[in-house]
Structure 1
Amino acid sequence: MRQLGANWFIEGHIDFEYKKYILLSYLQEINSHFDNSRLYPNLADLIFHYNNLIDFKKNKSLLQQAFPQRLTQADIDAVKLTYQKIIMDDQSMREIEQIITYALGKMDPAIKTGRDIYDFVESHVNIDPVGIIPLMPYHGYFSLQNGKERTNRIYEYQITIFEGKDDKYRGINVAFVDAYEQSITNTPESIKLHLINRNKFMPNPAVYYVHSDITFPLEQTLLPVAKRSLVKYISNAA
């Protein structure tokens, strides 16, 4: 995927037409992925850049805690140095404001398209608990079926809680375990028994059967949406 640097709009040659070319080239690739229902990492990257522009406009983008997952200390130092230089140059500031306004206007509909695709995929993802779910279902397995494909993929998951600036958030770590062909004998229930026999350290794991009724790109779309949907499902049920 074509990458935009975190500080693309203020680094290097500050010229509206040049930055416009960089942005449109980036968005062209993003939209081509969306046209093929490939959401990740494209949507997350696009939202990052949109929020980065908004925060810079509000003069908050220099705060490291705003983007701990993307901005390194070197990024922040570079922004500070560049900002100190251009803030004294009215022409540069006007050019940057024009770039930001234009970029936000172009990114906004692309983000809406990505979110519409996400909502569509999420509406076609179903989650069913397999057997009895333990009281603490934050570590277990889920079996993922992509549309009419007979191959199911099993993932071990662990839900974590981390604190942001203002709130607590839930994340999920997953690891691929195995794949199997669904059949009369290979059912989610029989696979759960197999997993219990395979891992004695989890005698009663939480197991969920996650399935979509439409086939989507697995790694770029279905798996990321399934992970988020599972976190939401478990959080609401807990």
Structure 2
Amino acid sequence: MTTLPYDWLTQNRIDTEYKQYVVLAYLQSVGRRFADSQLHPDLPEVKRHYEATLHFRRGKGTLMAAFPKRVAGISGPPPRIDYESELPADALLDEVDEIVDFALPRFSATLTEGKQRWDDLAATLTLEPIGLMPLRPDEGYLFLHYATSTDLSIYQYRLTLYDDQAPGGRMVHWQLRERTQRTIGTTFERLKLDLIRRYNLPNPATFRLECQRRVPEQETLLPIAQQLLNSVVC
């Protein structure tokens, strides 16, 4: 299993054992990708599943509390009136509660693992500007290179709309310009000037992102770079 539908809780039959299997299969596949340093889009998806399931539990509690109650008796001391809900017991709701109780801590644990892996990787990255920064650095270039390799990926980026679900708070549109090799005599400043000559972006903000070890670009480096860019540009 690679994805989990957002309506997984109510989709198909509501059976505790079956739903537990669905959740475990999904989280096991996510765990394997986390182990391979593939964090996106699984990390934000697990976060949404956790928040949606938590919201369901809280919403259900609010709904139950809104139903009328009747006096069940008096207990004490001190004297206290006890109430019970007029909503009849429902085996299906009990089963849903059991599924939610099973899923929530596992979503939370996987989310914590993913965040820790994200933070550990982000701590090994170095993001630095190249040359002078323009007044509006919403568009420019990112040189992505590895400390132990001459491989270099050049991306053009453009920050777009605000999105509280996006790493750093704003969406970033990436366009791969080229993959090349960086020689000893090739400086990042020279590469920047070459890009200015070849593309219609006369005064681009330009950054280099140095990585200590190879991790997947699309699934990990670019999402973390998006967060780092947001922190220095916004």
Give matches, 1:125-164, under 5 Å: 125-162=125-162
Counterpart residue type for residue 140 of structure 1: G
Counterpart residue type for residue 162 of structure 1: Y
Compared with structure 1, are the counterparts of its residues 197 and 89 closer, same or farther at alpha carbon in structure 2 (3 Å cutoff)? farther
For 1:14, the equivalent position in structure 2 comes to: 14
The size of the alignment, in residue pairs, is 206
Counterpart Cα distance in 1 of 2:46 and 2:89: 29
Counterpart residue type for residue 42 of structure 1: D
For 2:42, the equivalent position in structure 1 comes to: 42
Deviation at 1:88, TM superposition (A): 8.6
Contact map agreement 1:147 1:215 (CA 8 A) in 2: no
For 1:73, the equivalent position in structure 2 comes to: none
Query: Bigger shift: 50-59 or 97-106?
Result: 50-59
Give matches, 1:46-57, under 5 Å: 46-57=46-57
Counterpart Cα distance in 2 of 1:136 and 1:50: 37
For 2:201, the equivalent position in structure 1 comes to: 202
Counterpart residue type for residue 184 of structure 2: I
For 2:110, the equivalent position in structure 1 comes to: 110
Give the match's secondary structure for 2:59: coil
Query: Bigger shift: 102-111 or 49-58?
Result: 49-58
For 1:189, the equivalent position in structure 2 comes to: 189
Contact map agreement 1:156 1:177 (CA 8 A) in 2: yes
Deviation at 1:89, TM superposition (A): 7.7
1:95-152 CA-to-partner distances (Å, cap 9, x unmatched) read 1111111101111111111000000011011111111110111111111113423111
Counterpart Cα distance in 1 of 2:88 and 2:134: 61
Compared with structure 1, are the counterparts of its residues 88 and 160 closer, same or farther at alpha carbon in structure 2 (3 Å cutoff)? farther
Counterpart residue type for residue 95 of structure 1: E
For 2:220, the equivalent position in structure 1 comes to: 221
Counterpart Cα distance in 1 of 2:127 and 2:142: 9
Contact map agreement 2:146 2:210 (CA 8 A) in 1: yes
Q: Which runs of 4+ in 1 moved over 6 A?
A: none
TM-score, with length taken from structure 2: 0.81
Contact map agreement 1:142 1:155 (CA 8 A) in 2: yes
Contact map agreement 1:134 1:205 (CA 8 A) in 2: yes
Counterpart Cα distance in 2 of 1:88 and 1:140: 61
Contact map agreement 2:169 2:230 (CA 8 A) in 1: no
Task: Please tell me the root mean square deviation across aligned C-alpha atoms, in Å.
Answer: 2.2
Give the match's secondary structure for 1:195: helix
Give the match's secondary structure for 2:18: helix
Contact map agreement 1:124 1:213 (CA 8 A) in 2: yes
Query: Mind listing any 5+ residue stretches in structure 1 that lack a counterpart?
Result: 61-86
Counterpart Cα distance in 1 of 2:59 and 2:143: 45
Counterpart Cα distance in 2 of 1:161 and 1:4: 27
Counterpart Cα distance in 1 of 2:169 and 2:116: 23
Greater strand share, structure number: 2
Counterpart residue type for residue 234 of structure 1: V
Contact map agreement 1:149 1:215 (CA 8 A) in 2: no
TM-score, with length taken from structure 1: 0.80
1:62-92 CA-to-partner distances (Å, cap 9, x unmatched) read xxxxxxxxxxxxxxxxxxxxxxxxx998211
Deviation at 1:43, TM superposition (A): 1.0
Contact map agreement 1:160 1:172 (CA 8 A) in 2: yes
Greater helix share, structure number: 1
Larger C-alpha radius of gyration, 1 or 2? Answer: 2
1:34-65 CA-to-partner distances (Å, cap 9, x unmatched) read 122211121122111111111222339xxxxx
For 2:233, the equivalent position in structure 1 comes to: 234
